[in-house]
């Protein structure tokens, strides 16, 4: 099998005299995906060069040349004019350093990497990129919660069935259903804000695994790059991909909630329910049946939750058995991180778009309510007269059975019929057959009364406040 000629400017090439299998070259390369962090890699390299200049590895002029050269490299990436050299630029670090050498000369550019390894370099770039992406995810999730809160407040009067086991259970407010997912999303936002500081730790200066031998000021580098703190063990600094795994675990939890939310809306948008109508912008049609309006946006959200979970599971399987410090298996963290973050980010924005544009059909929601859903209220009526609940539950069940045998809704039974079941039913029992009355009795914190729902909205809005300001 033919092999490629060793490349002189590969960062590791001096040890090798033989060439690589061409397939191995492409199999090993990561430039096609790690180019995503070109800006973070340059930012980290400038900070590292500055630190090297302070300990005499670089002169002031050499540092100035490196900084100016990298600014040109950055402009080339931003203008999409950077030329990647296949077989040479195996990763973003090699590409940037190679181009820097072409601009300022390899003599000066060659000093940049002193005391640094791609092991701590790649971990730094990944953490910088992921930190910024998580802050964007915070903004997207905050926007979703604001949209949800606004709808809950505006549509608080809409009543609908609440379900358990997908069976109609008790009447609720549409807003109460919204806030049930709002609570889950707010928990996700809280977890995200706890995650960001664990991502925002600096590994730079750890070298390949034992640390920098020139006394470089790691704390100064971390401060320049906006890290909260250092990773204090150099071996842990280069080995750790927990920050990616945890991000994907967090994303999997969020996407599980989005998927369940989407499933409810898919059901509610069917002709059989008709509670909501999706905007055309988030629906598609059928190639065969002109009447169809499919909730593809929601189905994709439901489907992509599995994709995000798959990336998390795949990465955990890749890292679970690795020996200490850096192993090339960790390259697998790249594509899972990029795909998982993008999928999650897109999904939150799609969910916000769906929620902000759908319309509800309050009359269809209300028409789905039925008097048998007030059977618990009938039992509660007798509880208020001092009857033990276990007894009232049985009595209410007999009323339900009577209505079924008579072929009428419960609220159409006469007072005489109700009293034949139990003489303790009084004239005021008919008030139990009011959906509004049933809902508004649930005044407990977290209940579905208007008072309770408004309180939940306020709590959600308070939780949604950004508790940390970023540099």
- Whether 266 and 274 have beta carbons less than 8 Å apart is answered as no
Which of 79, 165, 287, 405 does the annotation list as catalytic?
A: 165
Q: Is 259 an annotated catalytic residue?
A: no
Of the residues 32, 157, 286, 394, which is catalytic?
A: 286
CA distance 465 to 92: 37
**Strand 229-230 versus strand 201-202 pairing type:** parallel
Place of tokens 């730079």: 204
Contact of 237 with 120, CB cutoff 8 Å: yes
165 labelled catalytic? yes
What distances in angstroms separate CA 283 from CA 30, 55, 88, 286, 353, one per listed residue? 37, 60, 46, 10, 12
The answer to whether the beta carbons of residues 163 and 191 sit under 8 Å apart is: no
Q: How far apart are CA 97 and CA 85, in angstroms?
A: 12
Strand partners, 284: 294
Distance from the Cα of residue 89 to its chain's centroid: 32
Q: How far apart are CA 237 and CA 121, in angstroms?
A: 10
The set of catalytic residues is 165, 286
């Amino acid at each position: 099998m033919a092999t490629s000629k060793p490349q002189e400017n590969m960062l590791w090439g001096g040890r090798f005299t033989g060439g690589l299998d061409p397939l191995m070259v492409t199999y090993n390369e990561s430039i096609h995906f790690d180019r995503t962090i070109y800006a973070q890699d340059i930012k980290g390299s400038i900070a590292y060069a500055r630190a090297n200049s302070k300990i005499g590895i670089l002169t002031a002029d050499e540092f100035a040349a490196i900084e100016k050269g990298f600014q040109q490299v950055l402009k080339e990436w931003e203008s999409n004019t950077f030329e990647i050299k296949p077989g040479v630029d195996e990763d973003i670090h090699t590409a940037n350093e190679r181009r820097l050498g072409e601009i300022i000369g390899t003599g000066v550019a060659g000093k940049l990497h002193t005391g640094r390894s791609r092991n701590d370099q790649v971990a730094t770039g990944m953490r910088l990129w992921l930190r910024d992406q998580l802050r964007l995810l915070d903004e997207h999730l905050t926007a979703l919660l604001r949209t949800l809160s606004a709808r809950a407040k505006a549509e608080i009067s809409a009543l609908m069935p609440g379900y358990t086991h997908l069976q109609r259970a008790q009447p609720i407010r549409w807003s109460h259903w919204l806030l049930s997912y709002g609570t889950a999303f707010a928990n996700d936002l809280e977890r995200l804000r706890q995650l960001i500081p664990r991502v925002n730790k600096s590994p730079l200066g750890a070298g390949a695994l034992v640390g920098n031998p020139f006394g470089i000021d790691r704390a100064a580098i971390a401060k320049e790059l906006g890290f909260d703190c250092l990773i204090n063990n150099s071996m842990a600094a280069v080995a750790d991909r927990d920050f990616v795994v945890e991000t994907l675990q967090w994303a999997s939890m969020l996407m599980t909630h989005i998927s369940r939310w989407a499933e409810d809306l898919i059901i509610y948008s069917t002709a059989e329910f008709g509670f909501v109508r999706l905007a055309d912008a988030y629906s598609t049609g059928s190639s065969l049946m002109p009447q169809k309006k499919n909730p593809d946006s929601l189905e994709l959200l439901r489907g992509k939750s599995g994709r995000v979970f798959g990336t998390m599971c795949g990465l955990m399987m890749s890292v679970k058995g690795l020996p200490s410090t850096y192993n090339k298996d960790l390259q697998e963290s790249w594509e899972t991180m990029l795909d998982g973050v993008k999928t999650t980010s897109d999904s939150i924005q799609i969910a916000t778009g769906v929620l902000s544009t759908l319309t509800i059909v309050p009359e269809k929601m209300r028409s789905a309510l039925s008097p048998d859903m007030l059977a618990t209220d009938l039992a509660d009526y007798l509880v208020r007269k001092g009857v033990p609940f276990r007894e009232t539950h049985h009595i209410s069940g007999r009323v339900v059975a009577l209505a079924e045998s008579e072929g009428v809704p419960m609220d159409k039974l006469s007072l005489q019929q109700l009293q034949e079941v139990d003489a303790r039913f009084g004239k005021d029992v008919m008030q139990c057959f009011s959906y509004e009355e049933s809902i508004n009795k649930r005044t407990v914190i977290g209940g579905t009364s208007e008072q309770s729902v408004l309180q939940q909205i306020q709590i959600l809005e308070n939780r949604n406040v950004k508790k940390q300001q970023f540099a």
